[in-house]
Structure 1
Amino acid sequence: MHTLTVTTPGPDRSPRRPRLSLPAGSCDSHVHVFGPHSRFPFAPERTFTPEDVPLEDLQSLHSFLGFDRAVIVQSACHGADHSVVLDALERGKGRYRGVALVGPTTTSADIEKWHDAGMRGARIHFAAHLGQPPSRDEIARIVDLIGPFNWHLAVHVTGSALLDFVDRIDEIPLRIIFDHMGRFDISDGREQPERRVLKDLLAGDDVWVKLSGADRISKKTPGMDDAIELARELFKSRPDRCVWGTDFPHPNTHGFMPNDGDLVNTLAQITDSPAELEQLLVTNPTRCFDFSPNEVP
């Protein structure tokens, strides 16, 4: 454990064993790796400081829960230095895919190198706690860099930002994946235009959603019934365009830290059959993140 002042608590390190048995090749489609700081320092310009949660912690959790694959998303706390994710991709030997943070100094040579390592997407933020959102010109530059490699664009929106982003969809000729079900306000009694817009977008061309972050958006913790209901609604509307993730180790979760075994159990409320579970955890991620069916030992 590092000696920095931690602003973001670590995960629940005593996961409960899920009641649900996961199919072979299951993918946790949204996770992060933090440090260890002694080897992979956090960025000086970071907006939060997490505990060390190295790859070994993630691997131990996945072995316990039953996941064979994962999509590891570069965290803003590591900034432009992707060493922590590249190390995980190398050690994963095909089990992992990565999502990068493409910045103003990123070159096409960087993208080519990252692609060969297993990166398959770039993430952009429209979240106040992670700094200034990218401009249209900045997004266009990212699209130009990653387009030749057929990467997806992961879009992290919060609040009503999804509604503002809709006008940009036609400017992005790539697969778009909305993180954490759009992270809009799902309070009881609130009219939710974001809910309708997200479902409309899923009906269009190559737009996907991660059914992750239930703990972030729920107003009814610890059961998270409201967020689970949204996840089920999105999955039933486009079962071929949804993937699922734990969001381990749950950065910037405040007031409620989910147990990852309990999160896995919510899959029984989102899907109705083993076939649907396999589609959500195996078939869809394989296609979405360019996994090879032969890459799971």
Structure 2
Amino acid sequence: MPDNPGPHPDPHPPSWALPARACDAHCHVFGPVDRFPYAADRTFTPPDSPLADLQALHRLLGVERAVIVQSAVHGTDHASLYSALADGAGRYRGVALVRPDTDPAEVARLHEAGVRGARLHFTPHLGAAPTADEIDAVVRLVAPHGWHLALHVAGNGIAEHAEMVRSLPTRVVIDHMGRVDLTAGPRSPAVESLRRLLDTGDVWVKLSGADRVATAPPSLADAADLAALLVRSAPDRVLWGTDFPHPNVRGFVPDDGDLVDLLPKIAPDPADRERILVDNPTTCFDFP
């Protein structure tokens, strides 16, 4: 039985029109479980949220392209991701879960399907973090294809792993604004580490997971302030995503229309919004 609430049941349309080719750079597809079973060793169980639900949300929001991130719920069985990428016919890119023992032929097949990154978890609720040797092995598998590494950290994790991030020979994308702990303030060591990493030139950050960062939801004000700070720090290397269907949360689930409506506050300049929603994801995820 699902132990997660699932997405907002009735999101509202945005109050402004997204630009053509706008991209949701972080979203997920779950199930349907009778066709795409969940992994036996998963640490949470979401309700089904199939591709049709994601596509309905994107039509409501005005999103034309998306990056679908493989979730630990499906483990390394990428059948649902393959199916979604095929349905997207070039409008979707994927981020996979690659292990040190993944067959290189499978990585090549994922690349051909539209995958452009591998996600590494450094969050205890999703299992043990990869070791240095395991990270090196994943890098060797994905580097020939030009993939990025997507890092999922939380709390002070971005500061703790900053040197590792600097050492990676691939592009790095930090998920969910590093899930930094904003109770420590907007200039905490984690926030400052994230900004310094952005200064390196090939570290990118997703302005997703605002509800995971906010200290007093349903207000997302401090998360929006952090996102605005990151836009000012590196406008050419920030991306935006819904995190639909907002997996592995308890209690508050944001209205995705509200998340879109935060963007003019985060990036008041329309040119910056064009970068965040169109230009940056085109470059980062190798869209046609």
Which category describes the TM-score, using the shorter chain as reference length?
over 0.9
2:75 paired with 1:79? yes
**1:235 alignment counterpart:** 231
Is 1:176 aligned to residue 147 of structure 2? no
The offset of 1:188, in angstroms, is 6.0
Helix, strand or coil: the match of 1:12?
coil
Q: Which of 3, 13, 16 in structure 2 is aligned with 1:20?
A: 16
Cα distance in 2 for partners of 1:115, 1:80 equals 15
User: What is the alpha-carbon distance in structure 1 between the residues aligned to residue 172 and residue 244 of structure 2?
Assistant: 22
Tell me the residue number matched to 2:198. Answer: 202
Inter-partner Cα distance in structure 2 for 1:272 and 1:6: 39
Q: 1:91 aligns with which of 87, 92, 95?
A: 87
Contact in 1 for aligned 2:166/2:197 (Cα 8 Å): no
Post-superposition CA distance 1:178-236 (Å, at most 9, x none): 00000111016586101111001001030000010000110122221000000000011
Select the residue among 273, 283, 287 that pairs with 1:287. Answer: 283
Q: Distance in 1 between matches of 2:133 and 2:185?
A: 38
Q: Which runs of 5+ in 2 are unaligned?
A: none
Cα distance in 1 for partners of 2:45, 2:100 equals 23
Equivalent position amino acid for 1:275 in 2: A
TM-score, structure 2 normalization: 0.98
- Aligned amino acid, residue 214 of structure 2: S
Check conservation: 2:186, 2:226, Cα contact below 8 A: no
- One-letter code aligned to 2:264: A
Distance across 2 between alignment mates of 1:99 and 1:170: 21
3-state SS of the aligned residue for 1:97? strand
1:248 corresponds to which of 244, 248, 266: 244
Tell me the equivalent position of 1:34.
Answer: 30
2:254 counterpart SS class: coil
Deviates more, 1:188-197 or 1:278-287: 188-197
Structure 1 CA distance, aligned partners of 2:230 and 2:111?
30
- Count of residue correspondences: 288
- TM-score normalised to the size of structure 1? 0.95
SS of residue paired to 1:76: coil
Matches within 5 A, 1:106-145: 106-145=102-141
Structure 1 consecutive aligned stretches of length 4 or more whose deviation exceeds 2 Å: 188-191
- Counterpart CA distance in 1 for 2:153 and 2:185 is 22
Q: Which residue of 1 aligns with 2:50?
A: 54
Query: What is the CA–CA distance in structure 2 between the aligned matches of 1:190 and 1:71, rounded to whole Å?
Result: 28
Q: Share of identical aligned residues, percent?
A: 53
